[in-house]
Amino acid sequence: MTATTDGSTGATLPSRAAAASDTTLTTPEAAGAPEAAAQAARRATDFLLSRQDAEGWWKGDLETNVTMDAEDLLLRQFLGIQDERTTQAAAKFIRGEQREDGTWATFWGGPGELSTTIEAYVALRLAGDAPDAPHMARAAAWIRERGGIAAARVFTRIWLALFGWWKWEDLPEMPPELIWFPGWMPLNIYDFGCWARQTIVPLTIVSAKRPVRPAPFALDELHTDPANPNPPKPLAPANTWDGAFQRLDRALRQLRKVVPRRLRKAAMNAAARWIIERQENDGCWGGIQPPAVYSVIALHLLGYDLEHPVLREGLASLDRFAVWREDGARMIEACQSPVWDTCLAAIALVDAGLPVDHPQLVKAADWLLGEEIVRPGDWAVKRPQLPPGGWAFEFHNDNYPDIDDTAEVSLALRRIRHHDPERTDRAIGRAVRWNLGMQSKNGAWGAFDVDNTSPFPNRLPFCDFGEVIDPPSADVTAHVVEMLAAEGLAHDPRTRRGIAWLLAEQEQNGAWFGRWGVNYIYGTGSVVPALTAAGLPASHPAIRRAVTWLESVQNDDGGWGEDLRSYKHVREWAGRGASTPSQTAWALMALLAAGEKDSKAVERGIQWLAATQREDGTWDEPYFTGTGFPWDFSINYHLYRQVFPLTALGRYLHGDPFERQLLARTPRPRPEAAKPTGSPLSEAKGS
């Protein structure tokens, strides 16, 4: 057994044999792969059916990192609404996530992360943990060794500035006048991805107001030099992007001093209107936690009291992100994923052989149809003539349907024999039309917006954490192509442009980059089934290169895994890591689509899934295999460990679901909106 060292994190890079050793196998006795797969699929089906909500949806916990929990406590402290039960429950969760070296990571098994550790430490101090307690002293020492608060990301220092732990004047400028930038102007708010613009707009108000609610204690122990906590940083050369934007920030600091008060007040009021107009029916913003937190703070600073309906409902929505665990700990979800989880669960169950008219599948279809978005949202800024359609990720998020969910929901609904097939056809027809209308210039698809590829937002000094733009990705594009193929549009010129883009994006090693899942295994597991569904033969060179790569990174235990470090260290970590159920399933889905059912690699992968399944039909997966921002923000979707293995097992046992089922159905009319030529939409968009 061999290992190398990743010098940037101190992590040990495992060989495939070492990665395999993380899992103890109990190979089914004397069972071949088909028998083992059938037994595992039955167990997984029973478990998944037992977890459906009475309304028809599924939702697993969405686990991220403790910054969600820390910032929730900081928000309550800032607003003066903290209560002892919530504080102690959150502190219990945060303590439970601390590593032995005193740090907190952003994903399970990952390296300590400075800003996350600072925020967790401050939250525990608010909960009453003494700075000289051993676990706190270890954290503080580690923070100081890595530069202290001054080395933290901007968003962390914004939180500290709210309490006087950092000076506002030492933070980048975020002028609220940004709200008035027209669409043609660089750095207008629609140059940012939807998640970023929802956060930045309220933060411009916070930055303009520069509030300070005096903290109950100092944080001198987190500075390398408390007497000089923020030594000046040297300017980058003026002929570099970093240098140019540093100088722009300096100019904005000077501008702040001369902007007329009436103008600034008008800009903040315009930003407030923008925020309020985008509040969802349940009180949240975009169905995700960070914009809700900053929107509440911003509106409160403008004079909205906590009993105002906008703030009252906003705060109530934040409580719905809390998951109370049996041990009394309280975890905050950054987001909730019922639409995504439900469509993936339905796909898994049908592919595993559940009758297409099973009552629970019909109930899921009913719920999904009821979640269709039928009004314009922020996407209409770039596509004003495009009629609405599609689905979002969350319970309530009508402003931001996403292209990925829309594709996967359509694929799920096509698998189910609903009692109102015309309603299903109409909903899918609108979804196809909307997704085609959201195709970017290069032929591919992003997650939420069209051509959201400006190079400038990521350069801004306050955008030092994660992605703030939404360029097309291979996994989203693949899901759209797969949906279009299922709708009989494999030869549509727009579909072929998507396929051409995917083929051009294949890495030299045969894999595809995974934007919304970890990482090359996810990308490859998404693209290969899409390409074969669209008619590429298994003998196509791109498919063969993908198969060769997947076989080369299979672990010695038969499974597949990939560590998040592959986002930073591609050569060493791509396709490498301890075997996980979801990543093993993605690899199998690709290999099965490529015609490799009888291969040794598939047999070993199926055996691994069967052998690692628990008696109750579940799998264990502490690893984070979902992606918010590559490397910076990682997700453990707790239902991934169930739906993807079941999908892979089902396809191994029963083959392609559409070949098996769609041909047996009553022919359906081709959605009128999907016609490639002659429609006003295709002409207007130059498709």
Of 467 and 162, the structure prediction assigns the larger pLDDT to 162
Q: Would you state the pLDDT for residue 669?
A: 46
191 catalytic, yes or no?
A: no
Reduce the DSSP state of residue 3 to 3 states and report it: strand
CB 223 within 8 A of CB 150: yes
Q: What is the signed CA dihedral for 504, 509, 511, 516, rounded to 10 degrees?
A: -90
**Residues 63, 68: Cα–Cα separation, whole Å:** 10
Mean per-residue pLDDT, 503-515 = 97
Mean per-residue pLDDT, 174-178 = 94
Cβ density class 632-661: b for 16+ within 10 Å, e for less:
bbbbbbbbbbbbbbbbbbbbbbbeebbebb
Percent of the chain exceeding pLDDT 70 equals 91
Report, in angstroms and rounded to the nearest whole number, the Rg of the chain calculated over CA atoms: 25
Q: Would you state the pLDDT for residue 270?
A: 98
Q: How far is CA 614 from the centre of its chain?
A: 27
For residue 63, list its beta bridge partners: 636
Q: Would you state the pLDDT for residue 462?
A: 79
Could you count the other beta carbons within 10 Å of the beta carbon of residue 598?
8
Residue 31 in this model has a pLDDT that exceeds 80: no
Q: Would you state the pLDDT for residue 238?
A: 83
Q: What is the pLDDT of residues 61-84, one digit of tens each?
A: 999 999 999 999 999 999 999 999
Tokens 């984070």, located at residue: 624
Catalytic residue, candidates 72, 404, 475, 557: 404
Q: What is the pLDDT of residues 608-644, one digit of tens each?
A: 999 999 999 999 999 999 999 999 999 999 999 999 9
Q: Would you state the pLDDT for residue 299?
A: 98
Percent of the chain exceeding pLDDT 90 equals 83
Q: Would you state the pLDDT for residue 559?
A: 98
Residue 670 in this model has a pLDDT that exceeds 60: no
Q: Would you state the pLDDT for residue 668?
A: 47
Could you give the domains of the chain? Answer: 13-62+335-454+465-685 (1.50.10.20), 63-332 (1.50.10.20)
Task: Give the pLDDT band of residue 25 (cuts 50, 70, 90).
Answer: very low
602, two tokens? 């598939």
Count of alpha carbons within 13 angstroms of residue 408, beta-carbon side: 24
Q: What is the pLDDT of residues 648-668, one digit of tens each?
A: 999 999 998 776 554 444 444
Task: Give the pLDDT band of residue 18 (cuts 50, 70, 90).
Answer: very low
**Residues 150, 156: Cα–Cα separation, whole Å:** 10
CB 404 within 8 A of CB 647: no
CA distances from 359 to 158, 355, 356, 395 (A): 50, 9, 9, 22
Q: What is the pLDDT of residues 95-134, one digit of tens each?
A: 999 999 999 999 999 999 999 999 999 999 999 999 999 9
Q: Would you state the pLDDT for residue 250?
A: 84
Q: Would you state the pLDDT for residue 272?
A: 98
Indicate the average pLDDT of the chain.
Answer: 91
Residue 20 in this model has a pLDDT that exceeds 60: no
Give the predicted TM-score (pTM) of the model: 0.91
Contacts 24+ apart (CB under 8 A), 563-566: 563/109, 563/518, 564/107, 564/110, 564/518, 564/519, 564/624, 564/627, 564/631, 564/634, 565/6, 565/9, 565/11, 565/13, 565/110, 565/631, 566/518, 566/519, 566/520
Of 6 and 428, the structure prediction assigns the larger pLDDT to 428
Residue 5 in this model has a pLDDT that exceeds 70: no
Residue 14 in this model has a pLDDT that exceeds 70: no
Could you count the other beta carbons within 10 Å of the beta carbon of residue 132?
9
Of 391 and 665, the structure prediction assigns the larger pLDDT to 391
Q: What is the pLDDT of residues 202-251, one digit of tens each?
A: 999 999 999 999 999 999 999 999 888 887 778 888 888 888 888 887 88
